[in-house]
Structure 1
Amino acid sequence: MDEFVIHNVRFYDYEPRAIQCMSYEEESYRLALSRSDGAIEIWNCQNRPFLQLVLPAESDASVEGLAWCDGRLFSVGLHGYLIEYDLSAVGVKARYAVTGGPTWCLALSPDKKSLAMGTEEGYVCLFDVGSDDVLYNKTLEKQEGRILSICWHNGGNHIVTGSINCVRLWSLMDGRVTRCSFVHNKREEIIVWCVAILDDMTIISGDSRGSVCFWNGTLGTQTDYVQSHKAGVLCLAVGSDQSFVIVAGVDPTIIRVSLAQTGGKKGRRARWIPTVKLRVHTHDVRALAFTNEGKLYSGGVDTILACSSYPPKVVIKTPTPLYPGYVSLGRQSDCVLLRYKERLELWRLGKPRVTGEPQEMFHAIEEDRQKLVELHCKEGESIDWCALSPEGFWIAYIVKGHLKILQFFPPTLDRQVSIRRVRALSKEIDTSRQVMWLGEEQLVSVTTKGTIQFITISDMEATVESTLTPRSPVQSLASSQDGKVLVVLDVNQGVTAYKLESGQEITLPKYSSPVVSLCVNPFTYDVLIAYSDSTIKEYSLRTKKYTNFSTNFLPSKRVHNGLSQLVSAVRYMSYDLNNGTLIFLHDDSSLLVLDSAAVTEYDDRYMPPNKITRGNNKSNKQNISGSKSPTRNSNIGRLIAFPRLHQVLFFSHIRDKNIISVEIDPVALHDQLPPMLKVKKYGGV
């Protein structure tokens, strides 16, 4: 294999964003979670979790509660609105004002026909969910104090809410309110951060004392009490069979509290007892989601999305990945464009002094990296996407859906860096949500209307050359190096390739797992697709069949090919621009190089053994003793992994024998987090 020089970009100023709340939809395996900056992430958890969609944060963003309803996503926040999102257009579909101002919590009824939310002024507002809209229903009687948590009973006729110093059970049939009060010191308030209710009307609450209380919902009396944590309990999740509840909070230990029979000869009674403890997070845990498959998703201040299950104890941590459109390469230049919330930075990579040293050695820097341009947007605005042209002379970015194009003039011996803005934009250019350069002065824009516009720049004027209307809304794009082939992934996981010169449209076969990454071979125009189950397939647009590599690169069920050992899904893929057989890909913790032309061998003894049927033991022994020695077979494709100590955000090939790896140090990221809960231990703190 050829030798490459890796440019380690570790100066990206990555800002951690805590997880605020989450909601899981069983039917689609999708997990929606909100970040502290107001952005909402849609994760697909069908196999290995991966980030499928990002809803950008707005200026007044505040997401305090999320709820799924038949594929529709709703949220509430301190802005005082119930918001429904259009996942196809990646934006807000409708807003509905909520009585009572800032809204702290949101819950969906079991029949998925109503939404209930609690407000700052003590109101519980009910909205009816229609087939295509949401209608206001009613507001329950105002109560004293803000409502911080809310939950529906499975019967659909009762709602339980948590406030300061009390828990309330609301009957929607007769309007009666049952109050469950705490016995506490009047000088200290007890804040009920989370509530749940079981089928037998047992109410469960977690409060600021670090305790979990169990109430008789019919009588309003406390039946049990567990001091589970050393600080406030912020979230809880009830098990599928309602025999246990999982709690966590400021004390990041995740504890399972189970219902068990206790007592002796005098009698036995059911008690709630802490049984299992998981130390997954380092800081406050703010959100939990338990699935019917027995998986627990958790997140909080440490920004990590964790998936755990018990028994057996399995914990998979997924760090925050880089959002699409945050890093853009000029793959025929030495420049990289980095996007932040309110600014863009264009960097020229350093040049190493190659002296023919052995492999895996650090090269001395002949010319250090250089920041060429730093662009800031106006106050109150944020950048939603950015793209750098292949040769690095054009910059495109999106602000509030509006496309902005800049021409970049690099520094020379007789002039400094300069930028000129393309102000003549055609009125036919629609608002955009993602852009990509097909070549110099040729741009592709995915509009909020669901179309794809091909934009040409000539004499500092941008015009729409043609428009493409896909069958389904676009999720992501990929193109060949020369811009002759465009591959589109839609929201229904369909992949379509367009030959732009001939106008031919080719629909690729669907696979059972969702797509995580796409790229196009620069020489043969074969489309390479990575799926969430670690399967990689290469499709030939010429023969309209899977390539020989795709059929002979053995799946993980037969022979270990390296991909099955990845903890996280593949994040990004790219071909070697000089060699169409080398593929560069990465996950969160390793760099991977796949040689699709290499022939490797394996022997049959690594294959799973065949089933031995019961019958004549003598014949079975003869078959085993008389079997031939393992035969050696060959398969196409060799995968080489390079583990990294830092989190890998982006990994791709650039021109010549250079590759770039954008990484962040987990320790440096941890230093930016707020202080964690300090617990005194024996011999230390």
Structure 2
Amino acid sequence: MKADVPDKSGGTAQVHNVRFYTIKPRGIVCLAYSKVLKCLALSREDGSIELWNMHFAPFLERVIQLTPESQVESLAWASKRLFSVDLTGKLIEWDLTTLQPRREQSPTGNALWCLDVNSAETELAVGSEEGHINIMSIEQDEINYKLLFSKQDGRVLCCKFDKPGKRLVTGTMGAVRIWSVAKGHTLHTMTLSDRNVIVYSLQVLSDNTIIAGDSAGYVTVWNGANATQLESCKVLDRNVFALAVNEEEDRLVCSGMKPPLIRVLSKTQIKREDSVCERWIKFLQREVHSHYVKALLVIGDRIVSGGQDGLLCISSSTKTSAYVAKYAPYLQGKAASLAPSGNLLLLRYPQSLDLWRLGVPRPGERQQLGLGSTEQLQLDHTPEKLLQLNVAAHKFIQAAAISPDGNWICYSTAQELRLSRVQHEPLGLQRLTTDLPAELEPASFIGFFKTQQQPQQQQQQLWLIHGSSRQLRCFSLDEQQVNFLYSQDLSPEIKTPISLVEVSPCGKYLVVAATNHLIAVWQLRGKKAKHLLNLPRYKAGTTALAMHENSSRLVVAYADGRIVDYDLQERRFVCETAEHFVPNAHLHSIRGLMLDAQNPNIVMVYDEVHLYVLESYQPEEHTLHAPQTKAKRLSKSASDARETAKLKSYRLKVRFNRQHLLQVCRLGAKELVTIGVQTKNLLAPLPPPYQRKKFGVA
């Protein structure tokens, strides 16, 4: 626990640094990037498919949750259509709005290992366990069988179309083959030095050059026109799992297992006497991962990589700039929920929930701290794990929450929702199973809040949002009874998947952000709940929401680093910042916002590596920005004085460094909880990393 100084008055705040959130690494299997949508799709070993928005700073936008048995081995984009193949033998086209399969086929009936789409985006090829290669037509928004190639020996681990789409190159054990797409016959077979060498990755350039990475650690280059070998270079000791080429095709990126380095090769012209030839020469290398790398992509001058450690890493492919941004394999949505009255913390994992009691510092005198300084406090009571709830291995906990008084716990999987009453003495849970309303169905978002019914009397309420139907349902909670209060249909405004949900501390406003950059606000008045307004749409996606406790002001953070403060009653912007206001905003998007009820001018902003304290102020000269101009259209009755009011801006006061910061919650007026994972704890369940000898190091 530390004492920080986040506010202008110089007062301190106690911060619980929670380091016992032990999420397991979920390895990255494959990557695919859509230039049209600027969306990065990746699959993990637990069967999930994540969609990352790459327009500005990368952030996790949508997740398709599957079972580990359905692990996706390859992904491919065809314009705005996403395809996947898995070891169950299914070729699936995904609906990006419902996050459900749109079309599903089993081309060969056995496991599928690879997938590729031609440059015209009219055909796709899939390779199977038994050596079958299928060509499927994806024209006219359909998937139709077109051709089955001649069976080859061994599984097809990788396949690539050439640029015209008339040839298909496949890799298997001991050989690389070139096929005629029209006839389905082999045109050339290029054998490797050893029949036991496995070809893991392929790239086909526009000049018909074929590049292969194999299990012996070699990168081999062939002339695809006559199937002659041009060069072979040993880049790793073993297993080149991934190859990637930039858009100009003058940089080749490779990585794999031993060692797990990312090595960049540059196409260079070499003059020998009167002849000139092109060769791939070692350009630079990045030590980004400590465990093997399974997938690589090059997007502009950025190298995107992922592997066994589960970290999505973005690094530079140029010598002029050297940066590495790492994104931990966190779950989408809130992973922590607090009960301030009981000092309780509920942590969400994929198949379990942990209930902890936070530590209590020793009472005593503390020294006066300066701005931005911290002091380590001794604990009178250490954190204690109270309960653990587990679900079946094939289920996934998509939402969970604990009530502010610590008396209720509610969690939901895709199949069921469970509501339990917490018994404190003796400690236990009593699940409610009888006389439950029929509207208590599985939900994507869960929350608790209290409403003032009569003077000195508060009612505990539970609200649920169902992601598929986009229905908000509210329930009242008594000692042993749950009553359905009302339902609100959000679908007239929200047409795409919901990304963020925020309920004001007073329970009067509901704010919902969707993946199409829409932010809608509802006014909650029991059964008379109504849609209030939609904020002006912005070019960047919404990454964080927060509402002031004692006012109707909403603070929004966007993926490009911009932060705005919007007054819902006056329907105007009162404070905003420019793009990339906080440092490293182009690498890490803002994960969350924390507001101070005692000082409305203070905003705490955090991303994965930093916690910032911002202060709003009135600049001397300020020009109205586009969001302000659009906001005027929302309120035609606004007075001239209101329209000409100057906007405030934010300035940075304090910055604290963190490591893989997941979430920051407020436990009290002067007490915060930060949940994060240290890299060494994240990688602890994995095998020891590969150790390579370095020259001059003992």
Same fold (TM over 0.5): yes
Aligned equivalents of 1:253 and 1:28: distance in 2? Answer: 30
Matched, 1:682 2:695: yes
Matched, 1:487 2:511: yes
1:564 to 1:400, Cα distance in 2 relative to 1, 3 A: closer
Aligned equivalents of 1:239 and 1:648: distance in 2? Answer: 32
Q: Please, which of 632, 639, 643 is the counterpart of residue 656 of structure 2? A: 643
The residue number in structure 2 matching 1:507 is: 534
Deviation at 1:125, TM superposition (A): 1.9
Aligned equivalents of 1:682 and 1:267: distance in 2? Answer: 36
Q: Please, which of 186, 194, 203 is the counterpart of residue 196 of structure 1? A: 203
| 2:265 partner amino acid | V
| 1:55 partner amino acid | I
Are the aligned partners of 2:399 and 2:443 in contact in 1 as well (CA < 8 Å)? no
Are the aligned partners of 1:498 and 1:506 in contact in 2 as well (CA < 8 Å)? yes
Give the 3-state SS of the residue equivalent to 2:376 in structure 1. coil
Aligned equivalents of 1:270 and 1:457: distance in 2? Answer: 73
CA deviation profile, 1:400-451 (whole Å, cap 9, x unmatched): 342222222323xxx4434232444433455433333344332122232333
Matched, 1:84 2:108: no
Matched, 1:592 2:612: yes
Aligned equivalents of 2:39 and 2:192: distance in 1? Answer: 41
1:320 to 1:26, Cα distance in 2 relative to 1, 3 A: same
Are the aligned partners of 1:372 and 1:417 in contact in 2 as well (CA < 8 Å)? no
Are the aligned partners of 2:217 and 2:237 in contact in 1 as well (CA < 8 Å)? yes
Moved more, 154-163 or 247-256: 247-256
1:82 to 1:437, Cα distance in 2 relative to 1, 3 A: farther
CA deviation profile, 1:651-679 (whole Å, cap 9, x unmatched): 12122311001122222223333233332
Aligned equivalents of 2:427 and 2:305: distance in 1? Answer: 50
Deviation at 1:333, TM superposition (A): 4.8
1:312 to 1:131, Cα distance in 2 relative to 1, 3 A: farther
Q: Please, which of 164, 184, 189 is the counterpart of residue 173 of structure 2? A: 164
Give the 3-state SS of the residue equivalent to 1:477 in structure 2. strand
The residue number in structure 2 matching 1:270 is: 278
CA deviation profile, 1:61-109 (whole Å, cap 9, x unmatched): 3111111233332221111111233332334444321305111111122
The residue number in structure 2 matching 1:39 is: 48
Moved more, 373-382 or 563-572: 563-572
The structure with higher relative contact order (CA 8 Å, sep 6+) is 2
Moved more, 305-314 or 28-37: 305-314
The residue number in structure 1 matching 2:187 is: 178
Q: How does 1:136-147 map to 2 (within 5 A)?
A: 136-147=145-156
Are the aligned partners of 2:263 and 2:282 in contact in 1 as well (CA < 8 Å)? yes
Give the 3-state SS of the residue equivalent to 2:210 in structure 1. strand
Moved more, 72-81 or 400-409: 400-409
Q: How does 1:534-573 map to 2 (within 5 A)?
A: 534-547=561-574, 549-550=575-576, 554-555=577-578, 562-563=582-583, 567-573=587-593
Q: Please, which of 482, 487, 499 is the counterpart of residue 461 of structure 1? A: 482
Q: How does 1:46-125 map to 2 (within 5 A)?
A: 46-125=55-134
Deviation at 1:21, TM superposition (A): 0.8
Aligned equivalents of 1:565 and 1:200: distance in 2? Answer: 38
CA deviation profile, 1:177-231 (whole Å, cap 9, x unmatched): 1233324245xx1100001212232211111111111112232222221222222
The residue number in structure 1 matching 2:354 is: 345
Aligned equivalents of 1:46 and 1:374: distance in 2? Answer: 39
| 1:518 partner amino acid | L
Deviation at 1:110, TM superposition (A): 1.3
1:326 to 1:302, Cα distance in 2 relative to 1, 3 A: same
CA deviation profile, 1:513-539 (whole Å, cap 9, x unmatched): 211111111211211111111110111
Deviation at 1:496, TM superposition (A): 0.7
Q: Please, which of 208, 220, 223 is the counterpart of residue 213 of structure 1? A: 220
Aligned equivalents of 2:651 and 2:250: distance in 1? Answer: 48
The residue number in structure 2 matching 1:253 is: 261
Moved more, 28-37 or 273-282: 273-282
Aligned equivalents of 1:263 and 1:582: distance in 2? Answer: 63
Report how many residues are paired.
642
Matched, 1:400 2:420: no
Are the aligned partners of 2:297 and 2:304 in contact in 1 as well (CA < 8 Å)? yes
| 1:123 partner amino acid | H
1:309 to 1:635, Cα distance in 2 relative to 1, 3 A: farther
The residue number in structure 2 matching 1:285 is: 293
The residue number in structure 1 matching 2:437 is: 426
1:562 to 1:272, Cα distance in 2 relative to 1, 3 A: closer
1:663 to 1:447, Cα distance in 2 relative to 1, 3 A: closer
Deviation at 1:296, TM superposition (A): 2.0
1:107 to 1:398, Cα distance in 2 relative to 1, 3 A: same
Deviation at 1:477, TM superposition (A): 0.7
Aligned equivalents of 2:654 and 2:418: distance in 1? Answer: 39
Matched, 1:664 2:669: no
Matched, 1:516 2:527: no
| 1:273 partner amino acid | I
Deviation at 1:636, TM superposition (A): 4.6
CA deviation profile, 1:260-302 (whole Å, cap 9, x unmatched): 22233242222332233233222212111122x3322112223
Are the aligned partners of 1:394 and 1:441 in contact in 2 as well (CA < 8 Å)? no
Are the aligned partners of 1:457 and 1:463 in contact in 2 as well (CA < 8 Å)? no
Aligned equivalents of 1:81 and 1:455: distance in 2? Answer: 41
CA deviation profile, 1:102-129 (whole Å, cap 9, x unmatched): 1111112212222211110001122232
Are the aligned partners of 2:113 and 2:157 in contact in 1 as well (CA < 8 Å)? yes
Q: Please, which of 587, 595, 599 is the counterpart of residue 575 of structure 1? A: 595
The residue number in structure 2 matching 1:330 is: 339
For structure 1, list consecutive stretches of 5 or more residues without a partner in the other structure: 604-632
Are the aligned partners of 2:75 and 2:83 in contact in 1 as well (CA < 8 Å)? yes
1:296 to 1:482, Cα distance in 2 relative to 1, 3 A: same
Are the aligned partners of 2:22 and 2:681 in contact in 1 as well (CA < 8 Å)? no
| 1:451 partner amino acid | Q
Are the aligned partners of 1:212 and 1:226 in contact in 2 as well (CA < 8 Å)? yes
Aligned equivalents of 1:442 and 1:96: distance in 2? Answer: 41
Aligned equivalents of 2:376 and 2:586: distance in 1? Answer: 26
Aligned equivalents of 1:635 and 1:337: distance in 2? Answer: 37
- Using the size of structure 2 for normalisation, the TM-score is 0.86
1:127 to 1:387, Cα distance in 2 relative to 1, 3 A: farther
Identity of aligned residues (%): 28
- Using the size of structure 1 for normalisation, the TM-score is 0.88
Deviation at 1:350, TM superposition (A): 1.8
1:426 to 1:88, Cα distance in 2 relative to 1, 3 A: farther
Deviation at 1:29, TM superposition (A): 1.5
Are the aligned partners of 1:100 and 1:120 in contact in 2 as well (CA < 8 Å)? no
Aligned equivalents of 2:404 and 2:139: distance in 1? Answer: 47
The residue number in structure 2 matching 1:613 is: none
Aligned equivalents of 1:416 and 1:645: distance in 2? Answer: 34
1:379 to 1:252, Cα distance in 2 relative to 1, 3 A: closer
The residue number in structure 1 matching 2:633 is: none
Moved more, 523-532 or 274-283: 274-283
Are the aligned partners of 1:331 and 1:390 in contact in 2 as well (CA < 8 Å)? yes
1:64 to 1:677, Cα distance in 2 relative to 1, 3 A: same
Q: How does 1:585-624 map to 2 (within 5 A)?
A: 585-596=605-616
| 1:298 partner amino acid | S
Deviation at 1:238, TM superposition (A): 1.8
